[in-house]
Amino acid sequence: MNFLQDFATYLEFQSAELIQATIEHAGLVLVSIAIATVIGVGLGVAVYQTDRPAKISLAVVGTMLTIPSFALFGLLTEPFGLGATAAVIALVMYGLLPIVRNTVVGLRSVDPAVIESATGMGMNRWQRLARIELPLAWPIIITGVRVSTVITVGIAAIAAIINGPGLGKDIFRALARIGSPFAVYQALAPVLGIIFLGILFDVFFLVLRRLTTSRGLR
Amino acid sequence: MTDETNARGAQGDNQVMIRLERLEKRYPGQERPAVAELTMEIPEGEIVILVGPSGCGKTTTLKMINRVIEPTSGRILLEGDDVTNADPDKLRRRMGYVIQQIGLFPHMTIAQNIALVPGLLNWDKRRIDLRVDELLDLVGMDPSDYRNRYPKELSGGQRQRVGVARALSADPPVMLMDEPFGAIDPITRDRLQNEFLRLQEEIKKTIVFVTHDIDEAIKMGDRIAILREESSIAQYDKPEHILSNPADSFVEDFIGRGASLKGLNLQRVRDVEFAHWPTANHTATRGEVLEALRRSDQGAVLLLDEQRRPRRWVDARDLDRTDKPLVETGLRPEAIVTGATTLLDTLNEMLKSRVACAIVADDSGAYVGAVDIDTIMESIQSMRAAAREQSRLLAGAEIGEVSS
């Protein structure tokens, strides 16, 4: 019981800073995901009708996910310096794969008969995309965004290593003083914050998906 | 038969709506064209059926008319204008398009589906709303009930009706239909075919209709083009002429044996003489009904309601029963047809309800007369006699040629 009491005292003492860090963390993730969504959906739309460009794009964004996060954050400081910019770029790179893949899969899963009748009714390429294909692929695309977000919430903690914002800072501080009684609390609090954010975003996107999907598709 | 009469489908009395000129489609890497130099005229206001074995190029031909498939060479003329190189999207808005899978937009309501093309054409909202309701009425679906439903909430037959309504939305002069009833169960298909024919009597569109089913072709077509490989026309004529006078052995094989029986699909109830049964008002006394029965040589009386709609068949045995009111005895009239029903459908109705007589009713459901199984048998016999006569004449002509 002692541990929990002490931890509670710690949280109380640090609450203002923790809340501030959680908000920063959420902001970092949301900005990155917004950019990743624009790029990812755009890329998906550009390549879904073709075979090789689609495969190449997916291979490239897939490879990005395999770069160890420490290394990527480190590499990006060379052109972009320390701070939020490099952090956002790294997170966008990590967030792309699920979004691009689901955009391609979603657009390809639209019933060919639906596309043929849209064409036969006199809709041009863009009308078809905007009014038929994207709305039909939307539930799948938004699921990709959701997966991306949850991945990014965790990886964003590493951004602290290049002086990025968010909950990672406390984790690195705790690592610096392993052995001291505070270290555990100092690491545990941001981890709980990250889990909380992960669940929050997950629920947020589930609700958003439900609200933005036509009743005819449910 | 010369190429030119073949293209016209034997003297069209109507204006030409669509003319295809030496239309050809070649796919890269294939030696033979899918469609080779097809020349054909589609008269205004008629249903023209393209029918042929699978792979004969009939669907490719249809899809070249609205250029969903672009022709390799040749010309397409719509109302005299060369539209081969016109803006394809504008062209398509002048032609309704119905495909077998229908392809309703699942994320849109029925009203939004139908409103799409008028929306593309920038109609104002009030006009679109009125048009949606008008079309739903036209295809027999109550607008207040169906307007806001989604495609997944409809049955296959209802989706098909919405598909037709959607194709008609901007009132195009032409409708292209690719096996529109192909994926529907036989009973519903029959009903939809009849509904569609009734609808066409009102809307008088120029319709190009693809099917692989010769029976459907005979039933639906004002004119039938029987196609063989590369979409070359084996025979293009009115269905009764194709049945009585197939151009060659390919056509003969395609329409199959029992071509005379297929003629039942051409003859309609209004073409035959009706039988008459004694009738009585459903409130009549037993005495009055018995009197009506005695005065006729038939074995039963048909009870009618105030609007003269059939209520019950009763015979002498039913008249003896006094435990129930008269209208609750006897048989419910089941096989009820209209003047536009084909004799084949009438025969089907009789078989389904296991009676030897179908009641003919008018549009309001009021009794007009009856068709009995003997009438249908007579029709079959006269058609067979005509077919025998035809083949005797043909055989005679051949012998004549040999001997001369």
Residues on chain B touching A128 (C-beta within 8 angstroms): none
With respect to residue A205, please indicate whether it lies within any of the assigned structural domains.
yes
DSSP state of B275: B
Task: Give the helix ranges, DSSP H, for chain A.
Answer: 2-47, 52-66, 69-80, 84-108, 112-120, 125-128, 134-155, 168-176, 181-212
Q: Which amino acid is at A213?
A: T
State ipTM.
Answer: 0.85
Identify from A111, A117, A134 which residue to disrupt to test chain B contact, counting B C-beta atoms within 10 A and taking the largest count: A117
Euclidean distance between CA atoms A103 and A42, whole angstroms: 9
Rounded (10°) angle between helices A69-80 and A84-108: 120
Write out the residue range of the structural domain in which residue A185 sits.
22-217
With respect to residue A164, please indicate whether it lies within any of the assigned structural domains.
yes
Instruction: Supply angle C-alpha B96, B99, B100, rounded to 5.
Output: 150
SS3 A152: helix
Euclidean distance between CA atoms B50 and B48, whole angstroms: 7
- Confidence at residue B4, expressed as pLDDT on a 0 to 100 scale: 55
With respect to residue A36, please indicate whether it lies within any of the assigned structural domains.
yes
Tell me the average pLDDT across B201-228: 92
B186-201: b (≥16 Cβ within 10 Å) or e:
eeebbebbbbbeebbe
pLDDT digits (tens, 9 = 90+) for B29-58: 888 999 999 999 999 999 999 999 888 999
> Pick from B90, B102, B109: which is nearest to A122 by CB?
B90
With respect to residue A4, please indicate whether it lies within any of the assigned structural domains.
no
- Confidence at residue B401, expressed as pLDDT on a 0 to 100 scale: 47
> Pick from A114, A135, A214: which is nearest to B103 by CB?
A114
Does pTM top 0.80 for this prediction? Answer: no
Instruction: Identify the sign of the CA torsion B347, B349, B354, B359.
Output: negative
pLDDT digits (tens, 9 = 90+) for B315-373: 888 888 777 787 788 888 888 888 888 888 888 888 887 778 889 988 888 898 888 88
With respect to residue A16, please indicate whether it lies within any of the assigned structural domains.
no
- The tally of domains found in chain A comes to 1
Identify the CA nearest to A201 among candidates A153, A130, A139: A153
Contact at CB, A217 and B106, closer than 8 angstroms: yes
CATH number of the domain enclosing A171: 1.10.3720.10
Residues on chain B touching A113 (C-beta within 8 angstroms): 99-103
DSSP readout, A94-107? HHHHHHHHHHHHHH
**Residues near A95 by beta carbon (within 8 Å), at least 6 away in sequence:** A32, A33, A36, A40, A148, A149, A151, A152
With respect to residue A172, please indicate whether it lies within any of the assigned structural domains.
yes
CB B151 within 8 A of CB B141: no
Identify the CA nearest to B351 among candidates B207, B161, B125, B190: B190
Euclidean distance between CA atoms B182 and B97, whole angstroms: 15
- Confidence at residue B1, expressed as pLDDT on a 0 to 100 scale: 44
Q: What are phi and psi of B377, to 5 degrees?
A: -60, -40
CA-based nearest residue in chain B for residue A113: B103
The percentage of residues in chain B with a pLDDT greater than 90, rounded to a whole number, is 44
Residues in chain B: 404
- Confidence at residue B175, expressed as pLDDT on a 0 to 100 scale: 96
Judged against a pLDDT cut of 80, whether residue B119 lies above it is answered with yes
Pick from A22-26, A177-181, B245-249, B300-304: least confident: A177-181
Judged against a pLDDT cut of 80, whether residue B8 lies above it is answered with no
CA-based nearest residue in chain A for residue B68: A120
Instruction: Supply angle C-alpha B92, B98, B103, rounded to 5.
Output: 100
SS3 B297: coil
> Pick from A120, A124, A216: which is nearest to B66 by CB?
A120
With respect to residue A159, please indicate whether it lies within any of the assigned structural domains.
yes
Residues on chain B touching A111 (C-beta within 8 angstroms): 101, 103, 106
Tell me the average pLDDT across A198-202: 95
Judged against a pLDDT cut of 50, whether residue A158 lies above it is answered with yes
CA-based nearest residue in chain B for residue A138: B107
Identify the CA nearest to B193 among candidates B341, B337, B52: B341
With respect to residue A191, please indicate whether it lies within any of the assigned structural domains.
yes
Contact at CB, A214 and B97, closer than 8 angstroms: no
- Confidence at residue B403, expressed as pLDDT on a 0 to 100 scale: 43
CB A163 within 8 A of CB A83: yes
Contact at CB, A216 and B108, closer than 8 angstroms: yes
Tell me the average pLDDT across A107-126: 94
